[in-house]
């Protein structure tokens, strides 16, 4: 991402915050995994969106109209020993030079400087209630200021969630963001193809996960966007199965939900395919139903449609199909009204996608479902999950879990499926897998 893109975002934020107010946003912290070992660092998406700065222990402050410049970055000072043990970090000079901060201060000075910066402002925008440490610090800085009231200092009297500004910005993807999302989508799509080709009975689920991650990294993308789900057979009915520890069996399906992250932008793809390379009759019928539901849902992704329309289209197709196959009994309309499909389809058909896999942005405005607009990216991911112990359905359906998930951009005249290069028709999947044997 070019420096100019971050600058444009900051300018937009400064304008929305308005002269006389101030905005704060803090970096992510490090998290301990176990004694002396940390989890890999992942920057806070809001913080990175505005700064491009990829270090912990930092606070960005935005003061519209400030004479010395409106963007102040508090970060770690450069430290030789730290550099030796932990590697490069920008330091104060780097923060100004490489990250375009108008001024940079040591993070150790934050408690001293923040009351000064807050003095005389009306409103503080920050991620209210998101980070207990920042909440406590903001209240403490305000208290310090109020204690100085007799010397003429005035403290802000309003705290406001910065998300209402920032998340609305993040919901609409720029050309530069879409470039990264397309790359994440392409690499992830290729990873799924490799996984289909590598799938064999007798291999462990985590060995198929390794094929995906190997491909992501070889293609230049360092991290996954979320823990991969590689779920053989009935494991697919556990929606957040990430153990990936079982052996794959002939006759089972394999559900893979995995995506790579490209410079903090996610892809999120699910495919379900037979371990043997050939669907059984029951698998084929349920799979085709989920695919029909996904096709119907994707057709609803267009400017002017409501957020909920793709979900409603999927529910309609799934319910009708479940009745036809004998898994539900009754009138389709009534079954939908009574949400009977939830026994087999218990999640929503999608979510916003961006820097976070479940990305930010309101789904409703004034209690009404949001209208889709060009530049928004969402997933479309219907599924069916028939519990292994479900006595209400014929035994042949039990323990089958299927989801098909693509990433879809709303365009001026409809949509573009960013992840379309992974096969998903029964014929395409069987042909690809048989070729690989
Ligand atoms: N991978 C999480 C999801 O599909 O929402
Ligand atoms: Mn997913
Ligand atoms: Mn998803």
For position 86, what pLDDT does the model report? 83
Rounded to whole angstroms, the Cα distance separating 9 from 28 reads 19
Q: 385 catalytic, yes or no?
A: yes
pLDDT of 149 strictly over 80: no
143-157, 188-202, 309-323, range with the lowest pLDDT: 143-157
Neighbours of ion ligand 3 (CB under 5 A): 268, 379
Q: DSSP alpha helices (H): ranges in 255-308?
A: 281-299
pLDDT in tens, 49-100: 999 999 999 999 999 999 999 999 999 999 898 888 888 899 999 999 999 9
User: Could you tell me the distance, in angstroms and rounded to a whole number, from the CA of residue 403 to the centre of ligand 3?
Assistant: 10
pLDDT of 405 strictly over 90: yes
The DSSP annotation for 103-124 comes to: EEEEGGGHHHHHHHHHTT-SEE
For position 403, what pLDDT does the model report? 98
Which one of the listed residues 177, 268, 359, 430 is annotated catalytic?
268
75-84, 142-151, 160-169, range with the lowest pLDDT: 142-151
Q: Which two tokens stand for residue 40?
A: 């890999």
Q: Which atom of ligand 1 is nearest to the CA of 403?
A: 4
Ligand 1, atom 3, residue with closest C-alpha: 268
Rounded to whole angstroms, the Cα distance separating 132 from 26 reads 12
For position 381, what pLDDT does the model report? 98
Which one of the listed residues 203, 347, 398, 420 is annotated catalytic?
347
- Rounded to the nearest integer, the mean pLDDT of the chain is 97
For position 166, what pLDDT does the model report? 98
Q: 358 catalytic, yes or no?
A: yes
pLDDT in tens, 410-436: 999 999 999 999 999 999 999 999 999
Label residue 369 by pLDDT band (50, 70, 90). Answer: very high
Task: Determine contact, residues 349/382, Cβ cutoff 8 Å.
Answer: yes
Three-class SS of 206-269: HHHHHHHHHHHHHCCCCEECCCCEEEEHHHHHCCCCCCCCCECCCCCEEEEEECEEECCEECCE
What does the angle CA 119 – CA 122 – CA 125 come to, to the nearest 5 degrees?
A: 100
Domains and CATH numbers, the chain: 3-170 (3.40.350.10), 172-435 (3.90.230.10)
Q: 257 catalytic, yes or no?
A: yes
Among 376, 417, 420, 407, which Cα is nearest to 174's?
376
Residue to mutate (ligand 1; options 185, 191, 257, 258; most atoms within 8 A of CB): 257
Label residue 280 by pLDDT band (50, 70, 90). Answer: very high
pLDDT of 125 strictly over 80: yes
Task: Determine contact, residues 88/102, Cβ cutoff 8 Å.
Answer: no
Among 166, 159, 138, which Cα is nearest to 48's?
166
Label residue 152 by pLDDT band (50, 70, 90). Answer: confident
Exposed/middle/buried for 123, CB within 10 Å: 0-12, 13-18, 19+? middle
For position 151, what pLDDT does the model report? 79
Q: 292 catalytic, yes or no?
A: no
Q: Which atom of ligand 1 is nearest to the CA of 259?
A: 1
Task: Determine contact, residues 136/146, Cβ cutoff 8 Å.
Answer: no
Q: 67 catalytic, yes or no?
A: no
pLDDT of 150 strictly over 90: no
For residue 377, give the H/E element and its range: strand 377-380
Q: Which atom of ligand 1 is nearest to the CA of 358?
A: 5
pLDDT of 148 strictly over 90: no
Which one of the listed residues 71, 99, 265, 385 is annotated catalytic?
385
For position 85, what pLDDT does the model report? 87
**Block residue for tokens 């319910």:** 319
Which one of the listed residues 38, 93, 358, 368 is annotated catalytic?
358
Rounded to whole angstroms, the Cα distance separating 351 from 361 reads 10
Detail the DSSP E strand segments found in 10-154.
Answer: 22-26, 32-34, 37-38, 59-62, 71-75, 103-106, 123-126
pLDDT of 263 strictly over 90: yes
């Amino acid at each position: 991402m070019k420096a100019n893109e971050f600058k444009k975002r900051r300018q937009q934020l400064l304008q929305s915050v308005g002269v006389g107010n101030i905005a704060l946003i803090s970096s992510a912290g490090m998290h301990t995994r176990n004694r002396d070992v940390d989890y890999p660092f992942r920057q806070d998406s809001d913080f990175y969106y505005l700064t491009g700065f990829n270090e912990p222990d930092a606070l960005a402050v935005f003061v519209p109209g400030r004479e010395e410049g409106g963007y102040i970055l508090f970060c770690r000072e450069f430290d030789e020993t730290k550099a030796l043990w932990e590697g490069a970090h920008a330091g104060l000079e780097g923060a100004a030079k490489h990250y375009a901060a108008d001024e940079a201060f040591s993070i150790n000075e934050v408690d001293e400087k923040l009351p000064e910066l807050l003095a005389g402002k009306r409103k503080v925008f920050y991620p209210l209630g998101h980070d207990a440490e920042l909440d406590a610090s903001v209240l403490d800085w305000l208290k310090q200021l109020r204690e100085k009231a007799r010397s003429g200092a005035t403290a802000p009297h309003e705290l406001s969630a910065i998300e209402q500004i920032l998340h609305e910005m993040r919901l609409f993807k720029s050309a530069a963001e879409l470039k990264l999302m397309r790359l994440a989508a392409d690499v992830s799509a290729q990873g799924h193809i490799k996984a289909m080709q590598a799938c064999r009975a007798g291999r462990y689920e985590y060995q198929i996960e390794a094929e995906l991650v190997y491909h992501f990294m070889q293609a230049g993308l360092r991290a996954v966007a979320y823990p991969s789900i590689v779920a053989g057979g009935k494991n697919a009915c556990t929606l957040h199965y990430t153990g990936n520890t079982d052996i794959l069996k002939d006759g089972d399906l394999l559900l893979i939900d995995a995506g790579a992250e490209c410079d903090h932008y996610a892809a999120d793809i699910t495919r379900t395919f037979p371990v043997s390379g050939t669907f059984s009759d029951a698998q084929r019928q349920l799979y085709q139903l989920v695919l029909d539901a996904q096709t119907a849902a994707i057709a609803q992704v267009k400017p002017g449609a409501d957020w909920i329309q793709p979900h409603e289209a999927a529910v309609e197709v799934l319910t009708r199909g479940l009745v036809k196959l004998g898994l539900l009994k009754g009138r389709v309309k009534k079954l939908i009204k009574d949400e009977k499909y939830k026994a087999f389809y218990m999640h929503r058909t999608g979510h916003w996608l961006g820097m976070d896999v479940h990305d930010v942005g309101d789904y409703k405005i004034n209690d009404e479902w949001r209208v889709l607009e060009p530049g928004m990216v969402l997933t479309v991911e219907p599924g069916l999950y028939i519990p292994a112990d479900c006595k209400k359905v014929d035994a042949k359906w039990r323990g089958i879990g299927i989801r098909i998930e693509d990433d879809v951009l709303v365009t001026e005249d409809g949509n573009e499926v960013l992840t379309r290069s992974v096969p998903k028709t029964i014929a395409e999947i069987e042909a690809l897998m048989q070729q690989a044997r």
